[in-house]
Amino acid sequence: QVQLVESGGGLVQAGGSLRLSCAASGSIFKINAMGWARQAPGKQRELVASFTDRRTPTYADSVEGRFTISRDNAKNTMYLQMNSLKLEDTAVYYCTAQVVTSALLISDFWGQGVQVTVSS
């Protein structure tokens, strides 16, 4: 089966930076798209950054200009560089991917989530 494992979460002061990683493993033939979503207490989960296999990035308005999504295709790993962090960025961040498996089946997968806490 396909697994997505996030890392890099933690505590950071407002204005600081963090980089999240998401490693995809398993029976992967191709990754069509990958992205990051987040969910804060009392709020709905929102997609904050994503790209297709062509690596065309999209960003939520709330993070545009501060977050950058990137991908190491050889390792099936993507990253979320978060700069100029704000208190409002505090949330659990989830990696998601649409994967073509080795059996040529297309499925969506989610990671377990990592906590990002921004303090004053």
**What average pLDDT score do residues 7-20 get?**
98
Task: Write down the pLDDT at residue 51.
Answer: 87
Instruction: Determine contact, residues 95/110, Cβ cutoff 8 Å.
Output: yes
pLDDT, one tens digit per residue, over 35-70 is: 999 999 999 999 999 987 666 899 999 999 999 999
pLDDT at 86 over 80: yes
pLDDT(106) > 90: yes
Question: In the prediction, which pLDDT does 87 show?
Answer: 97
Tell me the average pLDDT of the chain. 94
